Amino acid sequence: MNLTKNVKVTRVMSAVAAGTTDQNSSEVDMKGFEGVMFIAAFGTIDPTAVTSVKAQQDTVTGMAGAADLEGSSISVAADDDDLVVVLDIYRPQERFVRCVIERGTADAVIDGVIAIQYGPRKKPTTHDATTVVGTEVHASPDEGTA
């Protein structure tokens, strides 16, 4: 099995400088996929920051009526500098899903968010060319020059 051809990878949020404003990722269209795993990476988090990650869904693109997904909030402690949060949403009930990073009280740096959609109905998958520069698969490669 080759994971690269069985998932779709998309960068849904670029790095965001230290701040206290909430940040919404780009939405992912779940049509043809069973689930999505968001990997949110953090930089420096101020000792008094209140930070969390959650997921939202909507029936239409644009997320104008986005609603939180029950129980999806993960707290990020003030001493979780340079760590990641993994939030996995399996079989969302609506077509569009996004990751939301809530920041408050003091600064938190966001290094970015990657979405990995899995359980495709059609294989091989195609990664988002606007956010992924390339992929390579090497099966049992010999040692040598990379």
pLDDT at 55: 98
What are 58-106's pLDDT values in tens digits? 999 999 999 999 999 999 999 999 999 999 999 999 999 999 999 999 9
82, part of any domain: yes
106, part of any domain: yes
Domains held by the chain: number: 1
pTM of the predicted structure, to 2 decimals? 0.94
pLDDT at 2: 84
14, part of any domain: yes
Q: Which of 36, 38, 31 is nearest to 121 (CA)?
A: 31
Which residues neighbour 142 within 8 Å (Cβ) at sequence distance 6 or greater? none
132, part of any domain: no
Q: Which residues pair with 10 in a beta bridge?
A: 115
141, part of any domain: no
103, part of any domain: yes
Q: What is the CATH number of the domain that holds 49?
A: 2.60.120.260
Percent residues over pLDDT 70 in the chain: 99
Q: Which residues pair with 52 in a beta bridge?
A: 75, 102
Q: Please say if the pLDDT value at position 1 is more than 80.
A: no
79, part of any domain: yes
What are 109-119's pLDDT values in tens digits? 999 999 999 99
Which residues neighbour 35 within 8 Å (Cβ) at sequence distance 6 or greater? 88, 89, 90, 91, 92, 117, 118, 119
pLDDT at 40: 98
Q: Cβ atoms within 10 A of the Cβ of 27, count?
A: 21
Q: Give the range of the structural domain holding residue 94, as residue numbers without chain letter.
A: 3-118
Mean pLDDT of the chain: 96
40, part of any domain: yes
Q: Are residues 8 and 120 in contact, defined by beta-carbon separation less than 8 angstroms? A: yes
Percent residues over pLDDT 90 in the chain: 94
